Amino acid sequence: MREARRGVITKEMESVARTERLSPEFVRGEIAKGQLIIPANVNHKNLRPIGIGVATTCKINANIGNSSLKSDIKEELKKLDTAIKYGADAVMDLSTGTEINDIRAAVIEHSTAPVGTVPIYQAIELVENVEDLTLDQMFGVIEEQARQGVDFMTVHAGLLRKHIPLACKRTTGIVSRGGSLMGKWMMKNEKENPFYEHYDRLLDICEKYDVSLSLGDGLRPGSLADASDAAQFAELATLGELTKKAWARDVQVMIEGPGHIPFNEIEMNVKKEIELCHGAPFYVLGPVITDIAAGYDHIASAIGATMAAYHGVSMLCYVTPKEHLGLPEEDDVRQGVIAHKIAAHAADVARGRKGARDRDDAMARARYEFNWTKQFELALDPDRAREYHKQSNPDNNGSQITSHESRVTSHCSMCGPKYCAMKTSKETLDIDRTK
């Protein structure tokens, strides 16, 4: 951000400009204004920079990480590889338990995508009770993670003591893990949020390592009953205040958002964030548009995410089918990524972004030509497309044909030769052309 304000175009800005089909000068200008960020820690050596902002294509983040009860480094690297393979633009390591440092180091080393964390998850491992955490312990963890190469950090600096009574009336209380931990720390110690009171100390670390701040929504609603309430918007207003303070220090910022939100309130929520947080990029979890989709929350989330991205959200945090039910495994990561890539892409098409529909048009041509190999190449999940096509197309011996044996046919795989609409259409149009 400092370089952008000096008029300097960095190699990261040039890279983002090429990817996004934008001019380097435009990218520089958006970063200078705070409306575009490039999370890129100076110590993340194999990073492929991405731009997160309303002027760029909508990005998606995939959460990985072990729990204190399940998973290990090998499993988390599998999740990382799966997330990136299927299109995640960023990943967050939300590991808890005893192997946090080692898992994070491995993730940063292997990830070409920006890596984010929530430092309070590691800090809590240093003490028996959260209220025993000291300032030095909290900021020590943040600096340690920054030194390792974390590109963006979620810090719940906007949740203040005066906001907590507002959450007492809620159906589901404080559902953010980091938010609930900070809330308990404040109430037990009868002190203000240490990240708010000592915000300059946080910015010092961000400046030193070029860490982007993801200002956390500790009071995001965890149910439709709590959506768009006084607690949520009081914290959002504080995040707007903290955004300006970060910008004064040339620290890049994005704002985290809800949460569980009824479909009809999504547009209002996005516009309110843009207003209160001065156009800083908005990064939302979903939003999930119903509370009763257990096992299918990736779908409920993708529906809300499409609407949010259409109205100006810059990055979507995926939700997996395991949301509310358990720790996501490798296939859950895949399903969550694909669902939210669909949402992001649909919004990019709807917003008329340059080149966004090229892939759709190529797919349409491939379908009309019955070119299955091309269709597989263009699909967001080529592996699943091949799998389903193979299941539907047995050869004469009853065995399943391979993708290489079905590059081009004369009819679609769903209807068969007699009922294929595209085949019939081709024949009809050919008759018309001869007349």
Residue 154 contacts by C-beta under 8 Å, 6 or more apart in sequence? 92, 116, 117, 118, 178, 214, 215, 216, 256
Q: Tell me how far CA of residue 214 lies from CA of 155, 231, 276, 315, in angstroms.
A: 7, 19, 16, 11
Cα 263-268-273 angle, rounded to 5 deg: 120
- Residues 1 and 212: their CA atoms lie apart, in Å, by 10
279 plus 416 within the same structural domain: no
Instruction: Provide the number of structural domains found in the chain.
Output: 3
56 plus 113 within the same structural domain: yes
Residue 120 contacts by C-beta under 8 Å, 6 or more apart in sequence? 138, 141, 155, 156, 177, 178, 181, 182
216 plus 302 within the same structural domain: yes
Place of tokens 């009824």: 262
341 plus 421 within the same structural domain: no
- Residue count of the chain, please give it: 435
Instruction: Name the 3-class secondary structure at 405.
Output: helix
pLDDT at residue 395, as a whole number: 57
Residues of the chain short of pLDDT 50, as ranges, are 396-407
Cα 348-351-355 angle, rounded to 5 deg: 55
Strand bridging mode 36-37 / 52-53: antiparallel
386 plus 321 within the same structural domain: no
- Residues 130 and 124: their CA atoms lie apart, in Å, by 6
350, 369, 388 - which closes a domain:
350
125 plus 194 within the same structural domain: yes
Residue 17: in which H helix or E strand, if any? Answer: helix 11-20
pLDDT at residue 432, as a whole number: 65
Where helices occur in 215-265 by DSSP H, the ranges are: 230-248
Backbone angles phi, psi at 169, to 5 degrees: -85, 0
350, 367, 384 - which closes a domain:
350
Closest Cα to residue 344, out of 23, 50, 92? 50
218 plus 324 within the same structural domain: yes
Backbone angles phi, psi at 350, to 5 degrees: -65, -35
Q: Residue 181 is part of a domain; what is its CATH number?
A: 3.20.20.540
Q: Which domain holds residue 11?
A: 1-33
Place of tokens 């996501």: 328
350, 374, 408 - which closes a domain:
350
304 plus 400 within the same structural domain: no
pLDDT at residue 394, as a whole number: 63
346 plus 406 within the same structural domain: no
**Residue 254 DSSP one-character state:** E
- Residues 200 and 189: their CA atoms lie apart, in Å, by 21
121 plus 206 within the same structural domain: yes
CA atoms within 13 Å, Cβ hemisphere of 300:
22
69 plus 178 within the same structural domain: yes
User: Residue 41: left if φ>0, alpha if ψ -120 to 50, beta else—which one?
Assistant: beta
pLDDT at residue 173, as a whole number: 97
Please count the other Cβ atoms lying within 10 Å of the Cβ belonging to residue 358. 11
Structure tokens at 318: 């995926």
DSSP 109-129: HH-SS-EEE-THHHHGGGSSS
- pTM of the predicted protein model: 0.93
420 plus 330 within the same structural domain: no
Residue 280 contacts by C-beta under 8 Å, 6 or more apart in sequence? 34, 35, 243, 253, 254, 255
pLDDT at residue 415, as a whole number: 72
Structure tokens at 210: 């070029």
pLDDT at residue 430, as a whole number: 75
